[in-house]
Amino acid sequence: SVTRARFKAAIEFWAMLDHPNFVHIFSAIETNETLGFVMELIQGHSLRQLITTQGKLSQTQAIDYFLQVAKALSFAHARNILHRKLSPENIVVRSDQSVKLLGLGALRHVCLERNITPTNLCIGKPKYMAPEQFQGRYSVQTDQYMWGAALYEVITGRPPFIADNLRNLLRMHCQERPISPKSLNPDISQEV
Protein backbone atom coordinates (compact mmCIF):
# COMPACT_ATOMS: atom_id res chain seq x y z
CA SER A 1 0.00 0.00 0.00
CA VAL A 2 1.01 3.64 -0.40
CA THR A 3 0.93 4.18 3.38
CA ARG A 4 3.32 1.27 3.89
CA ALA A 5 5.64 2.60 1.19
CA ARG A 6 5.64 6.06 2.82
CA PHE A 7 6.44 4.57 6.21
CA LYS A 8 9.26 2.42 4.79
CA ALA A 9 10.72 5.45 3.01
CA ALA A 10 10.56 7.51 6.22
CA ILE A 11 12.40 4.77 8.14
CA GLU A 12 15.10 4.65 5.45
CA PHE A 13 15.52 8.44 5.50
CA TRP A 14 15.61 8.58 9.28
CA ALA A 15 18.29 5.88 9.32
CA MET A 16 20.42 8.22 7.15
CA LEU A 17 20.30 10.88 9.88
CA ASP A 18 23.24 9.70 11.96
CA HIS A 19 23.50 12.90 13.98
CA PRO A 20 23.58 13.36 17.77
CA ASN A 21 20.39 15.44 17.73
CA PHE A 22 18.24 12.94 15.84
CA VAL A 23 16.80 9.91 17.57
CA HIS A 24 18.71 6.88 16.31
CA ILE A 25 16.97 3.97 14.61
CA PHE A 26 18.68 0.65 15.22
CA SER A 27 16.70 -1.65 12.96
CA ALA A 28 13.54 -1.98 10.92
CA ILE A 29 10.99 -4.77 11.37
CA GLU A 30 8.89 -5.96 8.45
CA THR A 31 6.52 -8.90 8.20
CA ASN A 32 3.41 -9.40 6.11
CA GLU A 33 1.31 -7.87 8.88
CA THR A 34 3.73 -5.48 10.59
CA LEU A 35 6.09 -2.68 9.74
CA GLY A 36 8.01 -1.00 12.53
CA PHE A 37 11.39 -0.04 13.87
CA VAL A 38 13.54 -0.15 16.97
CA MET A 39 14.84 3.21 18.13
CA GLU A 40 16.91 4.45 21.03
CA LEU A 41 15.11 5.13 24.28
CA ILE A 42 14.86 8.86 24.86
CA GLN A 43 14.26 10.00 28.40
CA GLY A 44 13.53 13.64 28.98
CA HIS A 45 10.85 16.25 28.45
CA SER A 46 9.47 17.64 25.24
CA LEU A 47 9.78 21.37 24.66
CA ARG A 48 5.97 21.40 24.95
CA GLN A 49 6.23 20.03 28.49
CA LEU A 50 8.90 22.59 29.37
CA ILE A 51 6.80 25.46 27.99
CA THR A 52 3.76 24.17 29.89
CA THR A 53 5.62 23.99 33.20
CA GLN A 54 7.87 27.06 32.80
CA GLY A 55 5.70 29.29 30.61
CA LYS A 56 8.76 30.26 28.59
CA LEU A 57 12.39 29.28 28.61
CA SER A 58 15.34 31.50 29.43
CA GLN A 59 17.18 33.09 26.55
CA THR A 60 20.23 30.93 27.29
CA GLN A 61 18.17 27.72 27.23
CA ALA A 62 16.32 28.77 24.07
CA ILE A 63 19.51 29.62 22.18
CA ASP A 64 21.17 26.37 23.22
CA TYR A 65 18.19 24.33 22.02
CA PHE A 66 17.83 26.46 18.90
CA LEU A 67 21.43 25.80 17.84
CA GLN A 68 21.17 22.06 18.46
CA VAL A 69 18.02 21.79 16.34
CA ALA A 70 19.52 24.06 13.66
CA LYS A 71 22.59 21.81 13.39
CA ALA A 72 20.37 18.73 13.09
CA LEU A 73 18.28 20.39 10.38
CA SER A 74 21.39 21.48 8.51
CA PHE A 75 22.62 17.88 8.60
CA ALA A 76 19.29 16.60 7.23
CA HIS A 77 19.04 19.32 4.59
CA ALA A 78 22.56 18.54 3.34
CA ARG A 79 21.16 15.06 2.59
CA ASN A 80 18.04 16.51 0.90
CA ILE A 81 15.78 15.33 3.74
CA LEU A 82 13.03 17.58 5.08
CA HIS A 83 11.53 17.15 8.53
CA ARG A 84 8.17 18.84 7.72
CA LYS A 85 6.71 18.61 11.24
CA LEU A 86 8.85 20.58 13.65
CA SER A 87 7.03 21.60 16.80
CA PRO A 88 7.71 21.68 20.55
CA GLU A 89 6.07 18.24 20.78
CA ASN A 90 8.70 16.68 18.48
CA ILE A 91 11.75 18.01 20.32
CA VAL A 92 12.88 16.26 23.49
CA VAL A 93 15.37 17.73 25.96
CA ARG A 94 17.32 15.15 27.93
CA SER A 95 18.71 15.60 31.45
CA ASP A 96 22.15 16.51 30.02
CA GLN A 97 20.42 19.33 28.05
CA SER A 98 21.02 17.64 24.71
CA VAL A 99 18.12 17.83 22.27
CA LYS A 100 16.67 14.99 20.22
CA LEU A 101 14.35 15.43 17.25
CA LEU A 102 11.41 13.07 16.75
CA GLY A 103 8.77 12.98 14.03
CA LEU A 104 9.86 10.15 11.77
CA GLY A 105 6.57 9.82 9.88
CA ALA A 106 6.78 13.27 8.32
CA LEU A 107 10.26 12.95 6.79
CA ARG A 108 10.53 13.35 3.04
CA HIS A 109 13.41 13.26 0.62
CA VAL A 110 13.15 16.19 -1.79
CA CYS A 111 13.46 13.82 -4.78
CA LEU A 112 11.01 11.14 -3.61
CA GLU A 113 8.38 10.12 -6.14
CA ARG A 114 5.09 11.98 -5.75
CA ASN A 115 3.03 8.80 -5.76
CA ILE A 116 4.74 7.81 -2.50
CA THR A 117 4.61 11.19 -0.77
CA PRO A 118 2.49 13.58 -2.79
CA THR A 119 3.79 17.14 -2.84
CA ASN A 120 0.32 18.47 -2.09
CA LEU A 121 0.02 16.47 1.15
CA CYS A 122 -0.37 19.00 3.97
CA ILE A 123 1.77 17.88 6.92
CA GLY A 124 2.58 19.85 10.04
CA LYS A 125 1.07 21.60 13.02
CA PRO A 126 -0.77 24.72 11.78
CA LYS A 127 0.55 26.96 14.58
CA TYR A 128 4.08 26.50 13.22
CA MET A 129 3.51 25.88 9.50
CA ALA A 130 5.01 28.08 6.82
CA PRO A 131 2.44 29.58 4.43
CA GLU A 132 3.46 27.25 1.58
CA GLN A 133 2.86 24.18 3.79
CA PHE A 134 -0.86 24.89 3.80
CA GLN A 135 -0.67 24.21 0.03
CA GLY A 136 1.45 21.08 0.47
CA ARG A 137 4.72 22.68 -0.69
CA TYR A 138 7.92 22.08 1.28
CA SER A 139 11.54 23.19 1.14
CA VAL A 140 14.51 23.74 3.42
CA GLN A 141 13.03 27.15 4.20
CA THR A 142 9.79 25.48 5.34
CA ASP A 143 11.67 23.60 8.06
CA GLN A 144 13.49 26.80 9.02
CA TYR A 145 10.20 28.71 9.29
CA MET A 146 8.67 25.99 11.48
CA TRP A 147 11.64 25.99 13.81
CA GLY A 148 11.57 29.80 13.98
CA ALA A 149 7.87 29.71 14.88
CA ALA A 150 8.53 27.06 17.55
CA LEU A 151 11.46 29.09 18.92
CA TYR A 152 9.16 32.12 19.16
CA GLU A 153 6.90 30.12 21.46
CA VAL A 154 9.82 28.67 23.42
CA ILE A 155 11.15 32.14 24.24
CA THR A 156 7.86 34.03 24.63
CA GLY A 157 5.54 31.34 26.00
CA ARG A 158 3.04 31.67 23.12
CA PRO A 159 3.02 30.85 19.39
CA PRO A 160 3.57 33.68 16.90
CA PHE A 161 -0.08 33.65 15.80
CA ILE A 162 -3.26 32.69 17.62
CA ALA A 163 -6.48 32.37 15.62
CA ASP A 164 -9.95 30.93 16.12
CA ASN A 165 -9.84 28.85 12.93
CA LEU A 166 -7.44 27.47 10.33
CA ARG A 167 -8.34 30.04 7.66
CA ASN A 168 -7.51 32.97 9.95
CA LEU A 169 -4.30 31.26 11.04
CA LEU A 170 -3.22 30.83 7.40
CA ARG A 171 -4.06 34.49 6.69
CA MET A 172 -1.99 35.59 9.67
CA HIS A 173 1.00 33.47 8.62
CA CYS A 174 0.79 34.94 5.10
CA GLN A 175 -0.02 38.59 5.81
CA GLU A 176 0.83 39.60 9.35
CA ARG A 177 3.92 40.07 11.45
CA PRO A 178 3.90 38.48 14.90
CA ILE A 179 4.08 40.69 17.98
CA SER A 180 7.69 41.56 18.76
CA PRO A 181 9.08 38.80 20.98
CA LYS A 182 10.75 41.46 23.14
CA SER A 183 7.37 43.01 23.95
CA LEU A 184 6.22 39.60 25.25
CA ASN A 185 9.47 38.84 27.05
CA PRO A 186 11.53 41.94 27.96
CA ASP A 187 14.43 39.69 29.03
CA ILE A 188 15.16 38.84 25.39
CA SER A 189 18.27 40.68 24.18
CA GLN A 190 18.07 42.97 21.17
CA GLU A 191 20.41 40.62 19.25
CA VAL A 192 18.03 37.67 19.69
Mean predicted confidence (pLDDT) in 146-164: 93
HSE-CB of 175 using CA atoms within 13 angstroms: 6
Question: Exposed/middle/buried for 91, CB within 10 Å: 0-12, 13-18, 19+?
Answer: buried
Q: What is the pLDDT of residue 30?
A: 82
Entry pTM: 0.83
Give the pLDDT confidence of 27-81 residue by residue, as tens digits. 778 888 887 778 888 999 999 999 999 989 999 999 999 999 999 999 999 988 8
Q: What is the dihedral of CA 165, 122, 153, 75, to 10 degrees?
A: -170
